[in-house]
Chain A
Amino acid sequence: MGLVRNKPTITGSKTVHKDRSGRGDFFKTFSAKLYLSDGTAFDGVVPAGQANGVVGEVVFNTGMTGYVESLTDPSYTNQILVFTFPLIGNYDVQLADIESEKIQVSGVVMSELALHGSHTDSQTSLLNWLESQNIPLLTDVDTRAITKHLRTRGTMLGSISTEPINPKSLKLESKIISIDEPIIYNEKGTKKVILVDCGAKDNILQSLLALDLHVKRVPYDYDYTTESYDGVLLSNGPGDPTDYAPTIAIAKKALAKNKPVFGICLGNQILGLAAGAETFKLPFGHRGHNQPCMDISSKHCIITSQNHGYAIDEKTLPKGWQVWFRNLNDQSIEGIRHHSKPFFSVQFHPEACPGPTDSSYLFEEFYQCL
């Protein structure tokens, strides 16, 4: 990521802040905009010296807590994340909350960046943390206006810049986030689980380890089917699931072995594709902590944490597979399972972090199958 020093020119933004120094972070800002690929631009301010021109798919998340977890969630790779909750950074940053080793988003947009975050365990401010990893930030933005725009027009590419950007120039290459070599955890664990890492959140690993499982975390294209194991967990991850051809192919082989397979988020789509179903892109995805889902056999309802832009097309679900969970708002598929074999997956995040913990029991259910 090349650093480009801005000229301190003020554009026609409505919000013009000069020196906003408090006792907290020294925060000198310049007017900037979020430029979208449909030609729309939204006003805001950026910290002085921030790089222009990073491109990402602009998505919004409606969660009211958990900015640290979200920003480090690898599923947000290549995305500019708009927080609909207006006050971000209130409790600073505690590195214990991170879901991967670094901030994964391409950029962050918010209404108000906290300059006086507060928490006993605070390690750094959100501003310092973002700056330390060169993550572009746009604040003082009418985030509700962006949200309504994306809701109507669908997610699209965008870039934060102090200089005008030609919408046609916005381009993005897909990225896959994984590890290079397998990693073994808790070798003495009772049962062995393969965690297929397509950009796995840390708390998926932690949830497995909490059940005293032996976890072998493998790259997205690693063929584990020749090894011995008790179950497979297909992780979350960014982007279009059809880009994960090797993962899907290996998963197909895994299904043939009749060992338990559990998919989460992208893992749900990969399991669907491996089973023979198709996926499609939702107009603006589900990103938030309040997504209502129903287990359609028990009729039990749970609130789930979600972050996905793709879903399984119900019409293409092959024989032998059934819908497990459904979204109560738009009736989309939130989970599938095989009617006789131990293959099941959910579109939401039972590992939470951020968001509600209602579905954490699913790890236990997975464990029981092993």
Chain B
Amino acid sequence: MPITKLSRKLAIKKALILGSGGLRIGQAGEFDYSGSQAIKALKEEGIYTVLINPNIATVQTDGDMADRVYFQPLNIETVTKILKQEKPDVLLLSFGGQTALNLGLALHDSGVLKKLGIKVLGTPVSAIKITEDRELFKVALNEIGTKTARSVATYSVKEALAAAKTIGYPIMMRSGFSLGGLGSGRIENAVQLKQRVGEVLRAVPQVLIEEYLAGWKEIEYEVVRDAAGNTITVCNMENLDPMGIHTGESIVVAPSQTLTNTEYHMLREVAIKTINHLGIIGECNIQYALNPANGDYRTIEVNARLSRSSALASKATGYPLAYVATKLILGYKLHELKNAVTGTTSAFFEPALDYLAVKMPRWDLAKLKSSDHRIGSEMKSVGEVMALGRSFPEALQKAIRMLNTGSTGLTAHPYEFDNYQDEIEHATDRRIFALYEALKAGSSVEQLHNETGIDNWFLSHLSDIQQTEAKIVEQKLDAPLLREAKQKGFADSVIATLKQTTEDAVRAQRIKLGIKPVIKQIDTLAGEFDASTNYLYTTYHGNTNDVQPLGKKAIAVLGSGPYCIGSSVEFDWCAVNTGKTLQAHGKQTIMINSNPETVSTDFDRSDRLYFEELTFERIRDIADFEDPEGIVVSVGGQIANNVALPLGQHKYNILGTSPQQIDRAEDRQKFSAMLHTLGIDQPAWVEATTLAKAKQFASEVNYPVLIRPSYVLSGGAMNVVNNEKELEHYLAAATKLSPDHPVVLSQFIMNAKELEIDGVAKDGHLLIYAISEHIENAGVHSGDATVVFPAQRLYLETVRRAKLITKQIIKNLEITGPFNIQFIAKDNELKVIECNVRASRSFPFVSKVTGHNFIAIAAEAMIGIDRGIEYQTLEYEHVGVKSPQFSYNRLKGADPVAGVEMASTGEVACFGDDLAQAFYTSWLATEQQVKQQTLFLSIPDEQKYKFVDEASELVAAGWKIYTTTGTYQYLKEHGIKTTKVHKISDKQKPSATDLVENGKLGLLVCVPSRTDDSNDARTIRRLAIDNHIPLITNAETGRLLMHCLSEPDILSATPKAWQDYKTT
């Protein structure tokens, strides 16, 4: 029955797809993957596609993707306006995470879709509602006799307490309608419940009180169903960490490893039955708890949309779930589609893996001050990695290295445990290493199993790794032992340390012994059918390679690795666009990346995809095998950049700027010396190895000074100290000061502006540049700053001088490819802070605002192409503003103040006709919503003068402003009437706390005092976040926002698409 040309089943001319916005905890880059595949599938059908997504750094918002792109907030007001303008035939809700799903439900409920005649494609809204409302869900599953956890939906604190009493403590509290398990947790008693339910009910209407299933295995299935009811489970996954730890916080293996055939297929059957009963069309995820003692199960939830798990399943199996899901919601049947990997077999099949995938979460809790390191039922991780191997130890140790958190394996981690036992019993982000420490100290697998509930199968493998480590230490490193070590995932560098030799020596020895990784294909069918797949991984469990080397016609591109604070979807955008450009110039591309939440790891984006570690060792393995023309290290962010020098020293050809020059920019001493030689000013700095030297420097340049430990222990990161006492305190608490562990102190310049130049050079000559400015004054990390392009408030002279300095630096560093230089400007003086000889996070932003693809120009430069175009990038009729997306509401206890250490997890960017409009749109797009015209304003004395005009405008616009004594008095003196409330520390009512808790506030602008950050200030900041009220802590952005809120034209602006602005 040959399937020939497929006809489109539904007459759809125009589709609108909702994206997911800025990356945040619980909703990361996976939705760029799903949205991009959906757009590709829609375009193949000739459907005119409109996308709304303010995440400018995504591939899905590229010019060659959707026909129209709105960089606009994903809120009901804006989207309603856009729907009215665009009048699409259909709306796609399942590709933009929980954001899109919730928004879609709200649009449906508001009647807009019905009024405009817009159909929701795929799973009917009624079915989505069943999956989102836990009470309806339970009823629906009861109808088909499948089991759910005992749970009661409650809508008040009183109801919650009653339900908990019936079920019995401990109970599991979960909130309805949320992503990433927000507001979920184990509750021990009534007091705790009362407090937590109160908080959660302010954000969501429903709280579930559930049976506590800790210790049960947590299993998921990814299910695909077409409109005719043909259903498959593409992949199942097992969490190493049992129930009680959110699946986003768990180490996950695919396929399940400890389930018997009976268990596997019992859950599979329930999945198919459930999904058919719910009537889901497209793709969904079903989660179970499985009791290891007796095989009993509970269905936990169904996500009726593409999810983080589906992205993982897609990458783990090679089955393009989002693409297939799109075709299915357009009306295709599964059997009418082909397996994209084989091209010949049917898409109605279930992948058979002949390897396993291990996913590990990437946390960044150390960067988020005072946030708790314990993990549990709420998601805190910011990204993840996936490792493929043919044994668990091999894949696990790969995954650990992929995280790029300083561990080169299970046995080689940088942590010093005060009490590893405590971190085993109360899981933290480094529990896997605590388990290793326990095993090393003699704990038994059985004992650890009792303490954690982790299956013995996993723990025994950890124990095996630990025993292999002991063998390496004790025994002669002969061929069998070396092979065993490699099969168990030990890095050459780890073996070298254990044997007191060098990584190079170990590598040379094993290559001499013929111990090399082999390259295997991911073909979805375990080799059963011939598949010319380009999706590859390496393993030491094998003797033969599945592919032949590509050789010199190929170029390897290093991707970004896991998303974390400071490295986000923008580097995936850079990697994808680099590959695309190289292919356009007839090159074959080899993509290397370890992050399953990316578009670059879609196997149809490159000629070869290695889902692999971005470590020096593995890149060498791949480069030695493939023998490519060169390696691109400058588009994947810092991980890729860091391997440039070692690769260069080992004679691998690095395309673009030479590794030695990259090192000159990266090495603080060398870079400083270069600036000095060129006569370019820089903030004063010193590397101090003693407290005396640190004090001396600080007194020379005057406080405040910025401290950056070169050796960071947990908790001690970059910081600003304001006086000698703070300096002493900081150096005593956070760092080990010694000649081996110096700190870098630099002058901290206050009330200065910060600017950035993103650009591309070839052989030291500038090809294109974009100069942008920060709204915040210097002192806010550039990743947390609000960035404006083109710069609106710079003197022409400043621009001219910045460009001149840039030209000097790139010439001296002989840059070929992308670069980014950051400046501080004060009183017309420019100082250079740093230069990155690689693509920066603002590359997609400046590319989309200017309409010139900077990374494409960079990729061309790296292969010797200069189009000789003079780009004009200073003046446009529009302004772009990029805003940071924070995830503070997911991190209990974290202090939501932007500072010198980056804390944002993502970003958005929007366009406007002027700065204010672009800023306001961009700010709203970071999930902000002002619900009422009431403001609590708190400003330190030295900055009060800045706010007079804005406060006056707001009051004139009908706002009510609350203040405490100082601000009240100051504004009163300037003729502005505000409402005085008590300070929290006065312990009198009403205070700011009462305003927040009684839902009286629409906005808080609380600028902390640099020298005296009071407890009151910290309390109110945290309270604002926990109660979901917008909070601004920076004077400049606060003023700008207050200005915007008083301008009716800004508030009522008509949303425009990217294509409506003239970019070039």
Residues of A bordering B, CB below 8 Å: 14-18, 22-24, 42-43, 60, 62-66, 68-69, 84-87, 90-91, 94, 97, 111-112, 114-120, 140, 142-145, 147-148, 151-152, 288-292, 294, 296, 299-301, 303, 326, 328-331, 352-358
- Shortest beta-carbon distance from A335 to chain B in Å: 14
Contact A118 B258 (CB under 8 A): yes
B571 interfacial by beta-carbon distance below 8 Å: no
5 new A-B contacts at CB < 8 Å, known A22-B464, A23-B445, A355-B265: A23-B460, A62-B528, A111-B541, A299-B228, A357-B265
Q: Can you spell out 16 A-B residue pairs with CB atoms less than 8 angstroms apart?
A: A15-B483, A62-B526, A65-B259, A66-B261, A87-B391, A91-B457, A118-B455, A147-B354, A151-B528, A290-B352, A294-B348, A299-B333, A301-B348, A303-B348, A303-B350, A326-B1
Q: Which residue of B lies closest to A69 (CB)?
A: B261
Contact B346 A292 (CB under 8 A): yes
Instruction: Give CA–CA (A328, B456) in the complex, Å.
Output: 39
Contact A116 B461 (CB under 8 A): yes
B514: contacting residue among A14, A42, A62, CB under 8 A: A14
Residues in A whose Cβ lies below 8 Å from that of B541:
86, 111-112, 140, 142
Contact B349 A328 (CB under 8 A): yes
Q: Which residue of B lies closest to A67 (CB)?
A: B261
Once A84-B527, A147-B528 are accepted as A-B contacts, the answer to whether A354 and B261 lie under 8 Å apart by CB is yes
Q: Which residue of A lies closest to B268 (CB)?
A: A356
Contact A114 B457 (CB under 8 A): yes
- Shortest beta-carbon distance from B135 to chain A in Å: 30
Once A86-B355, A116-B457 are accepted as A-B contacts, the answer to whether A16 and B480 lie under 8 Å apart by CB is yes
B649 interfacial by beta-carbon distance below 8 Å: no
B1011 interfacial by beta-carbon distance below 8 Å: no
- Shortest beta-carbon distance from A36 to chain B in Å: 15
Contact B352 A352 (CB under 8 A): no
Contact A85 B526 (CB under 8 A): yes
A86: contacting residue among B293, B391, B467, CB under 8 A: B391
Residues in B whose Cβ lies below 8 Å from that of A115:
460
Instruction: Give CA–CA (A347, B355) in the complex, Å.
Output: 28
Contact A94 B260 (CB under 8 A): yes
Residues in A whose Cβ lies below 8 Å from that of B527:
60, 62, 84, 144, 147-148, 151
B479 interfacial by beta-carbon distance below 8 Å: yes
Instruction: Give CA–CA (A72, B396) in the complex, Å.
Output: 32
Q: Which residue of B lies closest to A291 (CB)?
A: B349
B255: contacting residue among A14, A64, A145, CB under 8 A: A64
User: Quick one: which of B319-375 are within 8 Å of A by CB?
Assistant: 333-335, 344-346, 348-356
What is the count of residue pairs linking A and B with beta-carbon distances less than 8 angstroms? 188
- Shortest beta-carbon distance from A156 to chain B in Å: 16
Chain B contact residues, majority secondary structure: loop
B145 interfacial by beta-carbon distance below 8 Å: no
User: Quick one: which of B253-298 are within 8 Å of A by CB?
Assistant: 255-262, 264-265, 268-269, 272, 292-294
Q: Which residue of A lies closest to B483 (CB)?
A: A15
Stretch at the interface among B29-37, B542-550, B618-626, B734-742: B542-550
B390 interfacial by beta-carbon distance below 8 Å: yes
Residues in A whose Cβ lies below 8 Å from that of B391:
86-87, 111-112
Once A144-B520, A357-B269 are accepted as A-B contacts, the answer to whether A118 and B354 lie under 8 Å apart by CB is no
Contact B349 A86 (CB under 8 A): no
B392 interfacial by beta-carbon distance below 8 Å: yes
A84: contacting residue among B262, B346, B354, B514, CB under 8 A: B354
A290: contacting residue among B229, B294, B349, B355, CB under 8 A: B349
- Shortest beta-carbon distance from B88 to chain A in Å: 31
Instruction: Give CA–CA (A43, B293) in the complex, Å.
Output: 39
Q: Which residue of B lies closest to A21 (CB)?
A: B467
Residues in A whose Cβ lies below 8 Å from that of B457:
90-91, 114, 116-118
Q: Which of A148, A296, A300, A353 has the most CB of B within 10 A?
A: A148
Residues in A whose Cβ lies below 8 Å from that of B256:
65
Q: Which residue of A lies closest to B520 (CB)?
A: A144
Q: Which residue of B lies closest to A353 (CB)?
A: B261
- Shortest beta-carbon distance from B317 to chain A in Å: 11
Q: Which residue of B lies closest to A16 (CB)?
A: B480
- Shortest beta-carbon distance from A357 to chain B in Å: 5
A63: contacting residue among B352, B355, B461, B463, CB under 8 A: B352
Once A356-B268, A358-B272 are accepted as A-B contacts, the answer to whether A151 and B530 lie under 8 Å apart by CB is yes
Q: Which residue of A lies closest to B458 (CB)?
A: A118
Once A118-B460, A357-B265, A357-B269 are accepted as A-B contacts, the answer to whether A331 and B528 lie under 8 Å apart by CB is no
> Interface code B577-611, partner A: CB below 8 Å = 1, 0 otherwise?
00000000000000000000000000000000000
B529 interfacial by beta-carbon distance below 8 Å: yes
Residues in B whose Cβ lies below 8 Å from that of A65:
255-256, 259-261, 264-265
Q: Which residue of B lies closest to A288 (CB)?
A: B352
Once A117-B457, A357-B269, A358-B272 are accepted as A-B contacts, the answer to whether A112 and B352 lie under 8 Å apart by CB is no
B230 interfacial by beta-carbon distance below 8 Å: yes
- Shortest beta-carbon distance from A332 to chain B in Å: 11
Residues in A whose Cβ lies below 8 Å from that of B268:
356-357
Contact A118 B456 (CB under 8 A): yes
B525 interfacial by beta-carbon distance below 8 Å: yes
Instruction: Give CA–CA (A22, B541) in the complex, Å.
Output: 19
Residues in B whose Cβ lies below 8 Å from that of A330:
345
Q: Which of A15, A23, A296, A328 has the most CB of B within 10 A?
A: A328
Residues in A whose Cβ lies below 8 Å from that of B264:
64-65
Instruction: Give CA–CA (A111, B487) in the complex, Å.
Output: 12
Q: Which residue of A lies closest to B513 (CB)?
A: A14
Residues in A whose Cβ lies below 8 Å from that of B255:
64-65
Q: Which residue of A lies closest to B353 (CB)?
A: A64
Residues in B whose Cβ lies below 8 Å from that of A356:
265, 268-269, 350
Contact B260 A91 (CB under 8 A): yes
Residues in B whose Cβ lies below 8 Å from that of A118:
258, 455-457, 460
